[in-house]
Amino acid sequence: MNADLVLRNVTLPTGRSADIVVAGGIVRHVGAPVRADETIDCTGYTCLPGAIDMHVHMRGGMQAGKEDWRTGTTSAVAGGVTVVVDQPNTVPPLTTPELLRARIREAEERAVCGFAVNAGVVPGADLDGMWKAGAMAFGETFAAPSSYGEGLDEETLKELFANIHALGGVATVHAEEVSGRAPATLADHDRARSGEGEARAVRTISALAPAGLRLHFCHLSTAASVRAARGTVEVTPHHLFLSRENFDPDETRARVNPPLRDEVTRRNLWSCWDRIDVVASDHAPHTFQEKGVPFETAPSGIPGVETMVPLLMAAVQQGRITLASVIEKTSWRPAAILGIPRAGFEPGDRADYALYPDEITRIDASHLHAKCGWSPFEGLDAIFPQKVVVGGTRAYAHGDLREACAAWYPGQGYLSLQNK
């Protein structure tokens, strides 16, 4: 058998050790060793399938000063993420096939790993056209206003959900209620976008969505919201690992939507670990300058694609969660929801992997790759991958990007047309 790459001495989820033989970016054989152009010895490493971060804001275009596809996807790969799904609340928002295709072209020119792009969900958006042009999913759909996204009323949501259901797409939803004046502190922000309001919004959206709609709730921040959701549920590392008590009351770099909650709420969110389908970063970087203004006017959003899996891997090492659950929530379940071929350890699987050592380190923003240059997770325990394989190619090793391996993953609307 001719092979491009062999990963030797991989400890599989079953516990047995085997060699993984890769050709053409696909796993061809698992078991006895064969000769290959390149080998990677996985002895001493935990080998995970590459993660899919199904909620990122790669910026670029007019917002390239915050992040661009090159820096954002380099950050992803350095954190063990081999596919990112970009959200459509760009500037301008993605509402037509032409804008969607332009976004895809921008990513093809700059990205260094796999990527997909979602379609914007607003009145007048050409949902059918974007679905056929390759949109992976629809939204995040804003049921409340957030950065670069206007909230939609219930009647508008019902109409748009019906259209998405007719197309057979996944509707991803940002569910919140917003009240009160512009907040001056993290506590004010928590009250203005309360956990109770989030849970009410989740219940409302679950009730008004048509039966059979593939509904996915983004970045839920409380146990009550997770339990109220119909469909699949996504939670972020910042709601799992950070509370507002970790920061000064007016720290703008901790401002994010939904807000960081109090410590009790954060701990309670972990009680829903088994119900959570997906962990995604909601990577939404802003510059130091943009965050360095009074809290009332500071933008919401934080970087996180590079630290997402490393934080979870430290939790595995500390015995807080299982390795199997991390693989499921960061790789296999997102792939199943979106229809992306699965990365893994069986013949036919996508050959994306990240190799993690056992040593826990501390997050140091100066070592991260996002353009914004800061992290709200500074000082937290993490385990970063030392080697990352994307599409059967060693893309990253010991802190350095070796190969750019961009690959577009279109949605089912586009694939259906190609298969006719």
Question: Which residues are annotated as part of the binding site for Zn(2+)?
Answer: 55, 57, 140, 174, 219, 282
Q: Distance between CA atoms of 29 and 261, rounded to whole angstroms?
A: 46
Residues at the annotated binding site for substrate? 57-59, 89, 286
Contacts of 120 (CB under 8 A, 6+ apart): 88, 89, 93, 94, 95, 130, 139
Q: Is 358 a catalytic residue?
A: no
SS3 string of the chain? CCCCEEEEEEECCCCCEEEEEEECCEEEEEECCCCCCEEEECCCCEEEECEEEEEECCCECCECCCCCHHHHHHHHHHCCEEEEEECCCCCCCCCCHHHHHHHHHHHHHHCCCEEEECECCCCCCCHHHHHHHCCCCEEEEECCCECCECCCCHHHHHHHHHHHHHHCCEEEEECCCCCCCCCCCHHHHHHHCCHHHHHHHHHHHHHHCCCCCEEEECCCCCHHHHHHCCCEEEECHHHHHCCHHHCCCCCHHHCCCCCCCCHHHHHHHHCCCCCCCEECCCECCCCHHHHCCCHHHCCCCECCCCCHHHHHHHHHHCCCCCHHHHHHHHHHHHHHHHCCCCECCCCCCECCEEEECCCCEECCHHHCCCCCCCCCCCCCEECCCCEEEECCEEEEECCEECCCCCEECCCHHHHHHHCC
Q: Are 241 and 377 spatial neighbours (Cβ–Cβ below 8 Å)?
A: yes
Residues at the annotated binding site? 55, 57-59, 89, 140, 174, 219, 282, 286
Q: Which of 68, 277, 282, 352 is catalytic?
A: 282
Residues with active-site annotation: 282
